Amino acid sequence: MSMHPYQYVVLRYVPRVDREEFLNVGVVLHSQSADALVCASHLDQDRLLALDPSVDLDALAAALTAVLGVCTDQPEATPRLATLGKRFGWIAAPRSTVLQPGPVHSGLCADPEDEAERLLRRLVRLDTD
What mean pLDDT comes out for the span 1-7? 93
**Contact predicate 45/59, CB 8 Å:** no
> Which DSSP helix (H) or strand (E) runs through 112?
helix 112-123
> Which DSSP helix (H) or strand (E) runs through 44?
none
* Spatial separation of the C-alpha atoms in residues 37 and 39, rounded to whole Å: 7
Q: How confident is the model at residue 128 (pLDDT cuts 50, 70, 90)?
A: low
pLDDT at 129: 56
pLDDT above 90 for 48: yes
